[in-house]
A and B are shown apart, each in its own frame.
Chain A
Amino acid sequence: MSYAYLFKYIIIGDTGVGKSCLLLQFTDKRFQPVHDLTIGVEFGARMITIDNKPIKLQIWDTAGQESFRSITRSYYRGAAGALLVYDITRRETFNHLANWLEDARQHANANMTIMLIGNKCDLSHRRAVSTEEGEQFAKEHGLVFMEASAKTAQNVEEAFISTAATIYKKIQDGVFDVSNESYGIKVGYGGIPGPSGGRDGTSSQAGGCCS
């Protein structure tokens, strides 16, 4: 399928916060309470529409355990967007956000759009991090923030799509040189041609986000 733009994402955050479930809810519209844990990386893709333009999202879902960072780090490079996820019922996953941000800032391009997601908001009776704290953290670090639930699908579409809208706006504002694929953006058919000219995205010649 042809697209105007292709954006590459990465999903990061502590183990067990629901990264794979968010991706599955977004790509397949289903929730899987019992599933194998993620070893290394997983991949998902979906088309969305922004400003009447078809946009392809290619998403890398990463293993959350510290040991795996040596592998997942290379996926920051060439990502246009990141979903940084914590679990509102587990305080420590919120406390580790600063580490994740530092990792992202170190290994990603400076213009990567980061969306902070407080997942599992359906479990409000077990809440350990208030919405205000999430908002506050996002504000301090210049992130977009949402609470979401991969289980009920609340805000899942919105999280992925509003990240894309932010990236799209940055393109319009000329923040990116879209011909440079290291930003995690590719121009397809119907996109704004970069210096290399508009390209046909039908062959989906999208590159990986690491080398």
Chain B
Amino acid sequence: MEKKRANDEFEPGPILPSQSVDRFEFIKQEQNSSEGLSTSRSANEHEREERRIRKWRKIIGVGGSDWKQYVRRKPHVVKKLIRKGIPDCLRGLVWQLISGSRDLLLMNPGVYEQLVIYETSASELDIIRDISRTFPSHVFFQQRHGPGQRSLYNVLKAYSVYDRDVGYVQGMGFLAGLLLLYMSEEDAFWLLVALLKGAVHAPMEGLYLAGLPLVQQYLFQFEQLVKEHSPKLGQHFSEEMINPSMYASQWFITLFSYSFPFPLALRIWDVFLFEGVKVVFKVGLALLKFCHDDLIKLPFEKLIHALRNFPEDAMNPDTLLPLAFSVKVSKRLEELQQEYEKRNGGTLPKAGSTNRLLQAIKHKELSIKPERSNCVQKDDPSPRILH
């Protein structure tokens, strides 16, 4: 995908009322761009949507109180519902419930605030440099030092303090940015922790550890899966010397939040948070399958372009996702992971290590006592945020 381009004449500053934004508040590149989702819906559709939301609300219960029990009783119903898409107005809450981040938040009151206010991070300058290069075409993040940029900075800084081994790595900002559009800073922070430390699924901190070991593993797995699921295309890629790092690094590093149309990215995230990273592979394979007949004819340069600029119909979640769900990868993913580990002689952290996670948090709590030398002065209550 080509990187999202902001308007050339864009000047950072207050948002002009004349700027036209889409349903997800991205500034439209063209006034007349069709985007399907923002068009006025028929009364029928509206009613169906209302019914869907009511159903979801009932399942979730007040503030999420009924959720866990419902998932335990009817996991398959939940899976099916989530695959159809979480209603936008409930997305933030449901994401926190299915990722396990809500529990982390409740177990760690005050920790986020401490990380933001009292700690300094070696990554502060790096984060600031990248803030304006993260979703620059979204109204929330566009305004220089505006609330969006400040929240993004705070979440990334807090994480870089929370996990000093990972610190801040480019790409994390897109995850945090996506989350911030649906929840508060603190909630977004804990969801990031839940993902990277593995509250429910295998920890994904390897995406951002030195050398990006998990990205390397995913690219290896994906390359093999392409060969197995689309042998002709795999062969064509080999002949043209195309490898997944050329087009799929961004998919894995940002879990599709970097350059995919928002409506699609959100639907992928719904499933990703519930079912885990395998959906990223499924979507990647589905994209290649969907465009197979075009891709197979293209020479190197055009291939690279096509792999970064998928056609609009391929980006329609209601077309792409059913195709993705039909791709079976779980078993092979596991085998390929073992194969990769054998080749590279090492293993990455394994799934669901909640104890390890809790230990990590305990350890962090100890490490953020205010008397540490690198804290801001105690009598300075102002958060260390962008000035």
Tell whether A15 pairs with B246 under 8 Å between CB atoms, given A35-B133, A68-B212.
no
| Most chain B beta-carbon contacts within 10 A, residue among A34, A63, A203 | A34
Is the Cβ of B249 less than 8 Å from the Cβ of A40?
Answer: yes
Q: Using Cβ atoms and an 8 Å threshold, which residues of chain B touch A65? A: 126, 169-170
Closest A residue, CB atoms, query B250: A39
Q: How far is the CA of A63 from the CA of B299 in the complex (A)?
A: 25
- The digit string for B254-279, where 1 denotes a CB below 8 A from any CB of A, is 10001100000000000000000000
Q: How far is the CA of A66 from the CA of B299 in the complex (A)?
A: 32
Is the Cβ of B240 less than 8 Å from the Cβ of A208?
Answer: yes
Give the contacting residue for A204; candidates B169, B173, B250, B299; CB below 8 A. Answer: B299
Q: Using Cβ atoms and an 8 Å threshold, which residues of chain B touch A39? A: 170-171, 174, 249-250, 253-254, 258
Interface residues of B in 126-180 (CB under 8 A from A): 126, 129-130, 132-136, 169-171, 173-174
Is the Cβ of B240 less than 8 Å from the Cβ of A70?
Answer: no
Give the contacting residue for A58; candidates B130, B135, B216, B301; CB below 8 A. Answer: B301
B244 to chain A, nearest CB (A): 10
Question: Which of these binds chain A: B3-11, B184-192, B315-323?
Answer: B3-11
Give the contacting residue for B8; candidates A32, A40, A74; CB below 8 A. Answer: A32
B223 to chain A, nearest CB (A): 11
Whether A36 is near chain B, meaning CB under 8 Å from some CB there, is yes
Q: Using Cβ atoms and an 8 Å threshold, which residues of chain A touch B222? A: none
Whether A134 is near chain B, meaning CB under 8 Å from some CB there, is no
Q: How far is the CA of A36 from the CA of B173 in the complex (A)?
A: 11
Q: How far is the CA of A189 from the CA of B213 in the complex (A)?
A: 41
Whether B16 is near chain A, meaning CB under 8 Å from some CB there, is no
Tell whether A208 pairs with B246 under 8 Å between CB atoms, given A34-B6, A35-B5.
yes
Q: Is the interface of B mostly helix, strand, loop or mixed?
A: loop
Give the contacting residue for A15; candidates B129, B132, B259; CB below 8 A. Answer: B129
Q: Using Cβ atoms and an 8 Å threshold, which residues of chain B touch A42? A: 3
Q: How far is the CA of A202 from the CA of B8 in the complex (A)?
A: 34
Q: Using Cβ atoms and an 8 Å threshold, which residues of chain B touch A68? A: 170, 212
Interface residues of A in 21-51 (CB under 8 A from B): 30, 32-43, 45
Whether A128 is near chain B, meaning CB under 8 Å from some CB there, is no
Whether B118 is near chain A, meaning CB under 8 Å from some CB there, is no
Give the contacting residue for B12; candidates A34, A74, A205; CB below 8 A. Answer: A34
Whether A211 is near chain B, meaning CB under 8 Å from some CB there, is yes
Q: Using Cβ atoms and an 8 Å threshold, which residues of chain B touch A16? A: 129-130
Whether A142 is near chain B, meaning CB under 8 Å from some CB there, is no
Give the contacting residue for A205; candidates B133, B171, B240; CB below 8 A. Answer: B240
Whether B215 is near chain A, meaning CB under 8 Å from some CB there, is yes
Give the contacting residue for A207; candidates B126, B129, B174, B300; CB below 8 A. Answer: B300
Whether B43 is near chain A, meaning CB under 8 Å from some CB there, is no
Q: How far is the CA of A36 from the CA of B208 in the complex (A)?
A: 18
| Most chain A beta-carbon contacts within 10 A, residue among B133, B173, B209 | B133
Whether A210 is near chain B, meaning CB under 8 Å from some CB there, is yes
Q: How far is the CA of A109 from the CA of B305 in the complex (A)?
A: 27
Whether B337 is near chain A, meaning CB under 8 Å from some CB there, is no
Q: How far is the CA of A41 from the CA of B244 in the complex (A)?
A: 11
Is the Cβ of B250 less than 8 Å from the Cβ of A206?
Answer: no
Tell whether A71 pairs with B300 under 8 Å between CB atoms, given A35-B136, A39-B171, A39-B254.
no
Give the contacting residue for B259; candidates A32, A36, A45, A66; CB below 8 A. Answer: A36
Is the Cβ of A36 less than 8 Å from the Cβ of B136?
Answer: yes
Closest B residue, CB atoms, query A66: B210
Is the Cβ of A41 less than 8 Å from the Cβ of B3?
Answer: no
Q: Using Cβ atoms and an 8 Å threshold, which residues of chain A touch B10? A: 33-34
A87 to chain B, nearest CB (A): 11
Is the Cβ of B136 less than 8 Å from the Cβ of A34?
Answer: yes
Whether A67 is near chain B, meaning CB under 8 Å from some CB there, is yes
Give the contacting residue for B5; candidates A32, A58, A67, A208; CB below 8 A. Answer: A32
Please list 7 pairs of residues, one from A and one from B, whose beta carbons are closer than 8 Å in the complex, sorted by A's number. A34-B12, A35-B6, A37-B133, A43-B305, A204-B299, A208-B241, A208-B242
16 further A-B contacts with Cβ under 8 Å, apart from A36-B258, A74-B245, are A36-B133, A38-B170, A39-B253, A40-B245, A40-B250, A40-B253, A43-B308, A45-B301, A63-B170, A67-B211, A69-B211, A204-B299, A204-B301, A208-B241, A208-B243, A210-B243
> Which 4 A-B residue pairings sit nearest by Cβ, starting from the closest?
A40-B249, A207-B241, A208-B241, A37-B133
